[in-house]
Amino acid sequence: MFQYRDATDADFPVIASFPQNEDEAFYMYPKSTYPLTAEQLRLAAADRSSLTVITDSESVIGYGNLYEINVGEDCWIGTVIVPPSSRGSGAVEGQVTL
């Protein structure tokens, strides 16, 4: 069963391994360089909110966050990625209520 929780610093090395090539890294985080590193994610996370991981049996299988363009007015979905082994599993489908 999928669950979600706040992402922690310890999750970033796992999340950094999700993009399998330069294109996936770009779509995940356009300012990154491939291979993506945990440090790049930490720097990006400093400007984001709602850092969230999706877990399956306590293994991190998805990551997403939000960012604001006009603080207090507009909120956008930021980084979103699921590793190849979990793609198509329904881990990031469905309705999210904030």
> At the topology level of CATH, where does 2-83 sit?
Aminopeptidase (3.40.630)
pLDDT band for position 67 (cuts 50, 70, 90): confident
pLDDT at 97 exceeding the cut of 60: no
Parse the chain into domains and list their residue ranges: 2-83
**In the predicted model, is pLDDT for residue 52 greater than 90?**
yes
How many Å apart are CA 46 and CA 24, to the nearest integer?
21
Q: Work out the mean pLDDT of the chain and round it to a whole number.
A: 89
More reliable by pLDDT, 67 or 21: 21
Task: Give the helix/strand (H/E) hosting 42.
Answer: helix 38-45
